Structure 1
């Protein structure tokens, strides 16, 4: 459970997620998230008046520590993108993602989007309230579906317009207002590659702090249709077998995990 605005004490002990400019503080020489009693860590940041508790990892409390832009600029070389944590310390990615999204909410909801007055933090939950107009805001979470589609012993892989050259993945997209997750899967697949799918099965989910997505993963089977690509979204797409797989998403991501699961199913179909 997230508990915001905890009075800071030098003797507080925990993991310290220092978030700034969409990056996390990973000091040398180990480039790890600092863990220990705050006063013992000698981090180069001004002790805050308050910190935010965002969870527990390995039995130790995880805190979000917010810093100023000037402090970030002075120590920018020791801040790294979140993908560094995902690939090199994947067990810590979840709470780094959570820390960033809490930090983003607190920084971007200081004033009311309805009347412009200053917002007040609710003390019993992570929300802001505008007293003049009673408008209340909660952290934004943007659900996205991602689906691995299998056609017997082959998987559909696509290269999106924003992918690295030569990098392929599976179909994904944001859920629209009023849609179920399953409806979003069918719509996105139809829009991006022009086919129909069947036998959807829920696989799992992963927070994706770019900036506040929640990836919801499915497996599915090909039903009908020919590949017709949306040129604004997809550069290329095709069916691939186990013997001619291109470079795909890393296993630390839900895309990579879905691809790995589908490859197991492809082997069984041979």
Structure 2
């Protein structure tokens, strides 16, 4: 499925469209067991929407992110993370985009400089202050992810908020004036007290909780003993490649990063 992003509708609307409805930050799904999101025509409750954002076209069909005040009959709200686990990749990526735009719109209704109510700027994904001209674009917060390795083992950790039994790679936000590489080195040392080198970029993922942009690396351990950062890391340890604990599913970049690194290390050792 091919997605073509756009800010505004530039052609005749498609008769059916992907309409992603949100209520209080939750995605609405059909309230029928086993039913999945599907393209639909304009629905009778859509005129009551508090906001509508055009996203582009997915395989020639228009895509909209729509905010409602209440859940209409025939629909049920679901936490975005749970909904994402049920979606194929193209719809997952669309839901991520929609959720971040809806959240940006909700949190930028007033100017951060003078507190005047903002307005949508025509032709751009931006809100503008009619008083002082301040522009607010959708926010992205770059965060590194680092999977630390040494011969035959991976360093995995869990934070207090993780699902019980699940471990993942280390992660943290980039600070002002810092490169991604500096962030990786700093975060690893802060979170577990280890020193690393030989950073290798793996890939990236937009992550809507609430507006992170994840950039994943592998990094080789060169020194230090594990000392978990109080309040941030509940437990961290070295795990053998054939004895990993529970890890994130593949819909997250952490799930791909860990599985692909294990496969590469096992392949190199054989």
TM-score by length of 2: 0.88
Contact kept? 1:148, 1:218, Cα under 8 Å: yes
For residues 195 and 49 of structure 1, what CA distance do their matches in structure 2 show? Answer: 49
For residues 30 and 151 of structure 2, what CA distance do their matches in structure 1 show? Answer: 48
Q: Pick from 18, 21, 39 the counterpart of residue 21 of structure 2.
A: 18
Task: Give the stretch that moved more between structures: 24-33 or 94-103.
Answer: 24-33
Q: Pick from 67, 79, 96 the counterpart of residue 81 of structure 1.
A: 79
Deviations 1:124-181 (A, max 9, x none): 2111121322211111111111111110111111121211222111100111112111
| SS of corresponding position for 2:93 | helix
For residues 44 and 151 of structure 2, what CA distance do their matches in structure 1 show? Answer: 54
For residues 116 and 107 of structure 1, what CA distance do their matches in structure 2 show? Answer: 14
Deviations 1:219-250 (A, max 9, x none): 12112222121121111111111232111111
For residues 161 and 199 of structure 2, what CA distance do their matches in structure 1 show? Answer: 26
| Counterpart for residue 134 of structure 2 | 135
| Counterpart for residue 220 of structure 2 | 221
Kindly state the Cα deviation for residue 61 of structure 1 after the two structures are TM-superposed: 2.2
- More helix by percentage: 1
TM-score by length of 1: 0.88
For residues 48 and 159 of structure 1, what CA distance do their matches in structure 2 show? Answer: 39
For residues 180 and 197 of structure 2, what CA distance do their matches in structure 1 show? Answer: 14
| SS of corresponding position for 1:102 | helix
| Counterpart for residue 256 of structure 1 | 255
For residues 233 and 175 of structure 2, what CA distance do their matches in structure 1 show? Answer: 19
Structure 2 gaps of 5+ residues are none
For residues 205 and 74 of structure 2, what CA distance do their matches in structure 1 show? Answer: 28
Structure 1 gaps of 5+ residues are none
Question: What do you get for the CA RMSD once the two structures are aligned?
Answer: 2.4
For residues 92 and 53 of structure 2, what CA distance do their matches in structure 1 show? Answer: 17
| Counterpart for residue 148 of structure 1 | 147
Kindly state the Cα deviation for residue 11 of structure 1 after the two structures are TM-superposed: 6.8
| SS of corresponding position for 2:175 | coil
Kindly state the Cα deviation for residue 45 of structure 1 after the two structures are TM-superposed: 4.3
| SS of corresponding position for 2:181 | helix
| SS of corresponding position for 1:248 | coil
For residues 146 and 268 of structure 1, what CA distance do their matches in structure 2 show? Answer: 23
Q: Pick from 14, 21, 30 the counterpart of residue 27 of structure 1.
A: 30
For residues 78 and 49 of structure 1, what CA distance do their matches in structure 2 show? Answer: 18
- Number of equivalent positions: 262
- 1:37 corresponds to 2:41: yes
| SS of corresponding position for 1:167 | coil
